[in-house]
Structures are given as C-alpha cells and as structure tokens.
Amino acid sequence: MSAPTPLTDEELTALVDGLAGLPYGGEAVDQRTHALQTAWLAADAGADDELVVAAALHDIGRARPVRAEHPGLPHELAGAAFARRRVGERAAWVIAQHVPAKRYLVATDPVYHALLSPVSVASLKVQGGAMDEREAARFAAHPLAADAVALRRWDDAAKDPDGPLLPMPALLAAHARCVAAL
C-alpha cells in the first residue's frame, strides 16, 4: 500500500469548517463542534497526534465532499476510505471501527448502554445491536481495539454544546507532526 497523500492545512481546515451547521442526528451539537470536541477529549486524555487527528475526523464520512466521493457507504467506511488515502492506515482502521466499538462496548460493559444518548441508542439498533461473543472476541483481539474503544468513548462524550473544543491551530499542529513522521 502506498503512503497517504497528506492533507494540506487548507484542506483539513476546509473539511472541518465544512461540518459547521451540519446536523448531528438530533444531538445538541453540529458535526464541527462534535469533531473538535472529540479531538479535545482525545488530546485531554493524552492521546498521540494520530489518534487526535482520527478523533477529529471520525465522522468525516458525513462531510459533503467525502460523501460525494464514496456514495452509499456508511459514514464510518467512507471516512475510513478517505483517511486511508489522506491520513494513514491506523487512523483509517480506528475510524472504520468506531461504530463496531459501540456494539462491542454494549456487549462487554454492563453500564455503557445507559450512557448512550437517545439518538445513539436508536442508531445502535440500525447498526446491529450488541456484538455476540464471537464478534466481541474478534474485535478485542485486534491490536488497535483499545484505540477504537477510546475513540468511541470520546465520541459519546462529545455532545455538549458548551463543552471544550480543540482549537484548529492545535489540530493542524497535531496533523503536521503526523505528516512529519511519515
């Protein structure tokens, strides 16, 4: 597989800013706020730069240009396809798995379901509900499963209209460090 073609600062800014005003399925925040709040939570938890960027881009499959490029794909798979080309394989896998991570947590964490918003509970049904034991074991065995679970928890917590957001300069700096490491 070839190395990704990194996003420019302008492209990353345009993608994130393009999420402003885009509804987030009935939640109290729009997609841009959700993205930057998820990234802030990742950074606050001490996540490395690539995981912070993946957190910001985990729902990028809902962005108009990415949807146009990958019509018909679920947002997590469209986002993963985009990230694979523009960010890297680890970010792509974690983005692809943030929905299965919800199914995993419902199956393995007895208190997790009660933490979900009503919108997230409704989408869980469409996404297949809790994983069965075989699915959960296969998911947990992947070396990046802990990253996907962490992203899922930040995703669930990033729905506060008054919550902190990662400033764009901080996201751009994290992305620049990722690019420098390629």
**CA atoms of 43 and 39, how far apart (whole Å):** 6
Residues in Cβ contact with 144 at an 8 Å cutoff, skipping those fewer than 6 apart:
90, 93, 94, 97
Compute the mean pLDDT over every residue in the chain, rounded to the nearest whole number.
95
Q: Which domains does the chain have, with CATH numbers?
A: 9-156+164-173 (1.10.3210.10)
The pTM for the full model equals 0.95
Please state the separation of Cα 142 from the chain's center in Å: 17
Structure confidence by residue, pLDDT tens digits, 55-94: 999 999 999 999 999 999 999 999 999 999 999 999 999 9
